[in-house]
Each structure stands twice: as C-alpha cells, then as structure tokens.
Chains A and B, each alone.
Chain A
C-alpha cells in the first residue's frame, strides 16, 4: 500500500514537472535562430521563403560562404507574414539577426529611433563602388535624417497601369492619357458590360496605390512629402482633398468592378479578372506580370497585356513619369551584433549581394534588379518589352514615391489603410478622411 502511494506520487510529480520542463525548453528556444552563436566572424541573416527570392538568397549565401571560409553566414528562412512579426519581436528582445531584411521607410525609422541598426553612411563613403551601381532612387527609403541605415537590394517594383488590349480593341478605345479620358472610358466599358477597372479592394493596399498616383498627379511629390514630414494638416491640403474627391467620383462612376470590396489580392482574383476579359484595366505591382504570365494561359504570350503611364490630371502638378511602388528591398545591420559579425555583414553587402549571378537569376525570374547598366541583359529576355519598361520607369522617374504603407510609421500606415477602405466604400467623405488622417501626422 505504502509502495503504491509512493509510486503514484512520483508519477504525479513527473506528470507535473513535464510541462515545466517543456516550458524551460521553449524559453531557451526563443533565443534560438537569432542567437549570435557560431564562429567569431559568423553572421546571421533572415530572409523570406517563396519563389524566386528563396532560391536566389540561398544561392548567394552559399556562394559567399564557399569563397569566404572565415566569414560564414547562417541563413534562416521565414514565411513573409511570420517574418514581419518575428523580426519585430526579435529586435525588441535584443535577439535580432546580424542582417535585418526589410522594406525601408517607416519600419526602418522605428529601428533607427530605437538605436537598433548601424549607420552605414561612413562605410558607403569609403566604398563608393557599392553605392554607385545601384539605382539612386532606391536610397530614399533607406535614409533617415540624412543618414543611410540600410543597403537597397533585390528588385524594383513600380506600380504599373495594365490593360487588356483585346477589350480595348473591342471598345475602339485608346489607353487614357488624362484623368478625364479615364473617366470617359469607365462609361465606354460599362456600356459594353465590361468592368472598367479590376480592384482587390479587400486588401486595402491595392486601393492605396490609386491614392498614391492621384495624389502625385494632382499635387506633385511635395504633397506627400509634406505628409511624410508631418506638416500640420497636410492631409487637408486643397490638392489632397481634390485627389480624394476624384477617387470617390471614380467609385461613383462604377469605375471599379462591382463588389470590389469582396475581392482579395492574395487569391490573385483581381489579375484573373483582367486576363479573363471581365475587366479592362488594373493598377498593380510589376510583380503581377509573372503570375499573369503563369496563370493567364495565352493572355501574356499573345501580347494581349498592355501597360501605360498613369494619366495626368488637368491642372495637376505631377509629372507623367513620376511613379510609385517599392524602390527595392533593404538590408540593415543590427547594432547589437559584435564587431566581427558586422565585418562579415559588410563584406557580404559589398561582395555577396547582387552579384552578376544574382542579377541574372532575378532577371530570369521576370523581375528587374536595382542595378544600373543591365539594359542589354533585359533586352535579351522574352519579356523584354515589359522589363525594359519597368527598368526605364524606375531609372528615369523624376520622383519614385515609396508605397505609403511602407514609408509611413506602422501606426500611421494602419490608420491610413483603414481610412482608405472607408473612403472607397464611401462611408466617409474626403473631409472626414483628411481630418482622421491629420490626427496621425507626426506619429
């Protein structure tokens, strides 16, 4: 009897302690991937899963490790959304990887303000060859208070106005050059029973791209620059109100496909509307070219996909060549990393990023890397017309506005997306939008 009690007790003890032990293990686990363990010169880098970036990043890290036995890099891959949460937590906990991947702008600024990333300006001055071969327009989103905190890399993705050439021919229409022509086209296509513009409104950032362009065409780049600088009441500038009103006019004229608020971008339904001939136009990132080519059957190979510059607005200040989108991806160095780790990271920045092999891989995947002088390489691909258009748009743009949700602080960006959603379903007026957003200025 005594024995059985004892054994039962020890069993219960075990049962009780087991969760504790697991807890202890997981507590250790949190410092896992970010832990700066390894050799003296070994650095860590986090990147994203998914084609084509995953294979390309893995290849560049492997190549770098092979040719630099003393400076090893450990690569950890995360799924995009998981990465965004994980990196924030890791940086907040002081467990960041040596190299911090990101999208520049407002997110980078929060890291800078918390003193978590290294100022790369002096290093870039000593190594001008690193900086000079990259698109100058890519450095804007890497700069905070005149100092460069991240090295732009990977590819440029401006927002492109796509159209279905077949539907335009059927309607006898030409790509619109002005806003008024665009408004006239909405009637043309609606009369034919074709939706003028495809929009995945539920994703919100898709609607934001419209606002970015209309703001530029109406008020020029300084309109958003004032907002970015946090100038008082910048959102209720007369040009801003005019742009917001124009958007609601387009919504009211049934410019966007019926039920656009139910459509999401992650299912690529908006692209499908364009290539299945249900919608005539679509404003979307350059990256959609690849998926439309893959999923659209004969649509892209038969040359039915066209593109044009976003129309100008009568009396507006914006240049036809100004563009918006993602000027690049960004890599910073953690201020918490040791001197050796930082040396390795800088070596990788100088020798391992956007190597000729990596540039070729990006071009083959249908994207435009942010290095200058690749015209010939682009012209040799079967997507040459599109890639050259993207390249010249990005290279020659007088102003390349970074996507607002990346440029602004996360706090302001979330408020922006929420208000854009309401603006597009017309549950708020332009004036309400402006006053809601004015409250976020300087946040």
Chain B
C-alpha cells in the first residue's frame, strides 16, 4: 500500500466516523442546544436552493401536469379539456412509436457507449505519455457543441457533396439520412461519438482510484491483464458504471438537439423520439396540452429509470468496496 492510498483510506474512515456522529442526533451526550444550532443553520441555508428548485423544477413540473389536461395553442386562452389529451396520446400509434424509439436509442446507446468508454477509460488511466496524448484527442468532441456536431455530420453525410465526394469513395454515398434504419443508425453513432469522451473521462477517474496493491496482489497470484480487467477493474468500477449508466440512460430519454438538427425526426417518423415529438407537437403544431402529456410521460420514464438504476447499486449505497484494505 502506498502512502497516498493509506491516507485516502484514512480519509474514508474519518468520513464514516463523522457520518456515524451526525446520525446520532438522539444521543443525549450531544446536547440539545448544539444539535439545534447545527440543524437550524442547515435548514436555513437550504432555503435558497430550495426556492430555486421549487421555482425551476417543481413549479414547471406541476404546470406541465396541469397543462396536460387543457387545450392551449400558446397564444389564445387555455381551456380545460379533461383527459382528452391523455386518451388521444394512448390511442396514437405515433406516441407508441416514439416511446419505442426512445427505448431503442437508449438501449443501443448504452450497449455501444459503455464498453467503448470503459476500455478507453482504462486505457487512458495509464500514466504513459502516449496515452496522455491520445486522451487529449479522444476528449476533443467534448469541446464541441451539439449543434455544431450535428451540422458537421449532416454536411459530411450529404450523398452528393459530402464525405463520399470528398474522399472519392462511392460506397460512402448512402442515403444516410433518408433511409429509416440508416438514419436511426446515424443518430446513435453521432450521439455515441459525442458522449463517449465524457464517459471515458468518468471511467478514467474511476480507474485511477483503484489501489495499485490490488493489481500487485493479482499479478503475484498469476492473473494476466485480461483477468485483472475482469476481476479487479470492472468490479471496482461498480459505482462508476452505475453513475455513467444513469447519465447515459437518463440522457438518452431526452436526446433532442442532435436529432433535431440532423434529421428533424425524419425520414417520416423514423427518428422522432419522445423529446422531439414533444417539441414538434408543442412548438411547431401549437398543441401545448398534447405536448405536455408527452412531457409528463418523459418525466415519469426518466425518474423511473433513474430510480431503478439506483436500486441496482444495492441497498448499502455508502458501503465501501475497499472493505478490509
């Protein structure tokens, strides 16, 4: 164990001790007065954050929920429509298609992004110079805005003046954005291209936290690189994987900008996911009530998935993976 590791471990221990302390609010030894000042100050400090959370998260959420029971074109008066919008949404095949697409994009994005990010993250975690250099290149897409990426890809994929013409490779002149399956593939590819660097960064940080002694012990026991990766790196990254997956999956629910610019939901409805459907219904077709139904469904979907992923982390979220180190 290196000095740095030991001190990190000590830090953890101290933190756990403190937590135990703060939990002991009922302990008479703490004294009622001291206790109240602590919690009192915390309550008061939480007010600004709470107000902002209420104003920008809870209030609009409640507003959207109420709007989903109304008819509103964004300009005229708001009229109560009962459950009409909800009935229409549940009877609308486009709605189910959008939901299905959202889930497909989510699943495929996760399946593609996770292994690549994990491998790249592990690779760039090494301290070699060439790895640091490559890491800089890998992280480049992080610096670009979604709209810029989307416009660039749209131009590259133009069948007549794009990549195919530039590189003189006719097989690249596919109907990339005009064929329903290809367009979906393009969207998932570009989304992955944009977000893999971010998740690589998360994994890089995660891998660097793993104590070297684990690898040293493993190699003494005769474990090769592959075995070390599967029996040390991956299990040690459990919480990193959960964090990264949560971001990926919840982000996939609301993918909008890239798809909007690249395909606009087309061809037909081939890439019209829930978020895009919500925007087009609300702001292009002026049906705010109907769009609010989609918004509520999006919120429920996102929340549900995030909670489910948190549960995957196990009940003892705060438990250490370094138990016994």
Contacts and interface: CB of A to CB of B under 8 A. Distances in A.
Is chain B found bound to chain A in the same assembly? yes
B287 A411 contact: yes
Interface stretch (A59-67, A146-154, A259-267, A374-382): A259-267
A395 interface: no
B284 interface: yes
Contacts of B76: 110, 113-114
A427 B178 contact: no
A20 interface: yes
Nearest to B159: A259
A113 B286 CA distance: 14
Contacts of A77: none
Given A16-B47, A267-B154, A410 B284 contact: yes
Contacts of A272: 160-161
A23 interface: yes
A261 B284 contact: no
B48 A20 contact: yes
B157 A411 contact: no
Interface in B159-209: 159-161, 173-180
B41 A261 contact: no
A262 B177 contact: yes
A425 interface: yes
Interface string A386-412: 000000000000000000000001110
Contacts of B264: 202, 204
Given A20-B51, A202-B177, A262 B269 contact: no
Interface stretch (A121-129, A174-182, A414-422): A414-422
Given A202-B263, A259-B173, A425 B45 contact: no
Nearest to A91: B75
A262 B176 contact: yes
Contacts of B296: none
Interface string A96-129: 0000000000000011011010000000000000
A54 B61 CA distance: 39
A88 interface: yes
B178 A19 contact: no
A261 B73 CA distance: 30
A409 B286 contact: yes
A421 B263 CA distance: 12
Interface string A174-213: 0000000000000000000000000001101000000000
A428 B280 CA distance: 20
A421 B266 contact: yes
B268 interface: yes
Which residue of A113, A413, A418 has the most chain B CB atoms within 10 A of its CB atom?
Answer: A418
B285 A89 contact: no
B45 A16 contact: yes
Contacts of B158: 262-263, 267, 269
A254 B41 CA distance: 73
Contacts of B45: 12, 16
Nearest to B56: A23
B160 A263 contact: yes
B52 interface: yes
A17 B285 contact: no
Contact of A411 (B75, B159, B174, B286): B286
A262 B77 CA distance: 39
B155 interface: yes
A262 B45 CA distance: 53
Nearest to A5: B41
Interface string B276-315: 0000110111110000000000000000000000000000
B267 interface: yes
B49 interface: yes
A174 B150 CA distance: 41
A421 B52 contact: no
Interface string B30-61: 00000000000100010111011001000000
A5 to B, nearest CB: 9
A258 B173 CA distance: 10
Interface residues of B, number: 42
Contacts of B266: 202, 204, 261, 421
Contacts of A278: 160
A92 interface: yes
Nearest to A405: B284
Nearest to A90: B75
A19 B268 contact: no
B235 interface: no
Given A19-B48, A258-B175, A411-B285, A202 B267 contact: yes
B59 to A, nearest CB: 12
Given A258-B159, A262-B177, A411-B285, A425 B75 contact: no
B74 interface: yes
Contacts of A12: 45
Given A20-B48, A88-B75, A114-B77, A261 B285 contact: no
A414 B161 CA distance: 29
B105 to A, nearest CB: 19
A133 interface: no
Contacts of B47: 16
Interface string B208-233: 00000000000000000000000000
Contacts of B286: 88, 110, 409-411
A263 B264 CA distance: 12
Contact of B268 (A259, A267, A421): A421
A421 B177 CA distance: 12
Contact of A261 (B49, B75, B267, B269): B267
Which residue of B49, B160, B267 has the most chain A CB atoms within 10 A of its CB atom?
Answer: B160
Contacts of B173: 259
Contact of A16 (B41, B48, B179, B180): B48
A9 interface: yes
A293 B320 CA distance: 69
Interface string A3-33: 0000001001000110110010000000000
A85 interface: yes
Interface of B: 41, 45, 47-49, 51-52, 55, 73-77, 154-155, 157-161, 173-180, 263-269, 280-281, 283-287
Given A263-B159, A414-B285, 16 more contacts: A92-B74, A111-B75, A114-B75, A202-B177, A204-B264, A259-B175, A262-B157, A263-B160, A264-B154, A267-B154, A278-B160, A415-B285, A418-B280, A421-B266, A427-B180, A428-B268
15 contacts: A9-B41, A12-B45, A114-B75, A201-B178, A202-B178, A259-B175, A261-B177, A261-B266, A262-B157, A262-B176, A263-B160, A267-B154, A413-B284, A414-B281, A427-B267
The 9 closest A-B pairs by CB, nearest first: A261-B178, A16-B48, A414-B285, A114-B76, A259-B159, A259-B175, A262-B177, A422-B268, A410-B286
